[in-house]
A = this chain, B = another copy of it.
Amino acid sequence: MAKPSIGYLGMGIMGTAMSGRLIDAGFKVTVWNRSVEKCKPLELKGAKVAKTPKEVIESCDITFACTSDPSSAREVVFGHDGVLAGISAGRKYIDISTVDEDTAKEIAKAITAKDGIFLEAPVSGSKGPALQGQLVFLAAGRKDLCDEAEECFKVMGKRTFFLGDVGAGARMKLVVNMVMGINICALSEGLAVGTEAGLQGKDILDVLSEGALNCPMYGLKGPKMLAGDYDPAFPLKHQQKDVRLALGLGDQLGQPLPLAAAANEALKAGRAAGYGDDDMSKVFETVKKAKK
């Protein structure tokens, strides 16, 4: 069976990496970006460059989009010559952007009202995994589209989850990031009290790495925390926002989350200390600073 023709909207770091892998894998890809010069590297690899999202959606079997935030995700769909202007019965749109549940549902509703087929598929993973095809997709919406796009997902990622109705992808990201927010505070408290108690930070990390808690995050962040290197992979303010939103979800559902609440306060203390744009692991400095 012939490969579907692919559209890709948004040539940021992630979109460039993903569409590049699709071209390498032999797909015919049409790309678009607000500022056209970012399409150049893809054009050199063989991509067609379109002038509008509308043009992409009209000419491709499946169109992916990866934008930077909810407002640009909306703009690409609802804006002039946007996705909505081009969508029609049976056209397929997969939004990979990380957006809140309401934005995902609003886009889904508009696409569906015009008989388009929609899938949300926010990713877990950043630049490195994107280049290596090691992303994880948290898909929700139309199961048939998820299946059909699987050959694309396999090129871009190592695993695709289909989670149910639109909104489930956004919720899964919140839950996972909430657990991560608690975890980075746990590591911070462990390193803080352990080093105060005369242990070497490096020894604590090494012991952790030999046991049941050994995880990539401790390995990646731990040594940097001890070195005071907080170059942002995931900014503290975004981590705090996700914990706060997860608490909001718990509030709606009447689910107490006392550790998440304590983590939120610790991360807020980090924000208050001016670390919002640094890596989330800089919460360690606040935990430590709590002791003069």
Contact = CB atoms under 8 A, between A and B. Distances in A.
A193 B213 contact: no
Given A175-B197, A176-B204, A193-B178, A210 B256 contact: no
B261 A213 contact: no
Contacts of A171: 194, 197-199
Of A138, A180, A259, chain B has the most CB atoms within 10 Å of the CB of A259
A74 to B, nearest CB: 22
Interface residues of A, number: 75
Contacts of A220: 212
B266 A254 contact: no
Interface in A151-176: 158-159, 161, 163-164, 168, 171-172, 175-176
Contacts of A163: 199-200, 203
B199 A175 contact: yes
Interface string A188-223: 011011101111100110111011111111001000
A23 interface: no
Contacts of A125: 211
A244 interface: yes
Interface stretch (A26-34, A54-62, A105-113, A271-279): A271-279
A194 B178 CA distance: 10
Interface stretch (A78-86, A89-97, A245-253): A245-253
A261 to B, nearest CB: 4
A67 interface: no
Given A204-B176, A214-B215, A258 B266 contact: yes
A269 interface: yes
B257 A168 contact: no
A3 interface: no
A36 interface: no
Nearest to A267: B256
A258 to B, nearest CB: 4
A263 interface: yes
15 contacts: A136-B211, A171-B198, A171-B199, A178-B190, A182-B186, A182-B189, A193-B249, A193-B255, A212-B215, A254-B268, A255-B291, A256-B265, A256-B266, A258-B266, A269-B290
Interface of A: 124-125, 136, 138, 158-159, 161, 163-164, 168, 171-172, 175-176, 178-180, 182-183, 185-187, 189-190, 192-194, 196-200, 203-204, 206-208, 210-217, 220, 244, 246, 249-251, 253-266, 268-269, 271-274, 287, 290-292
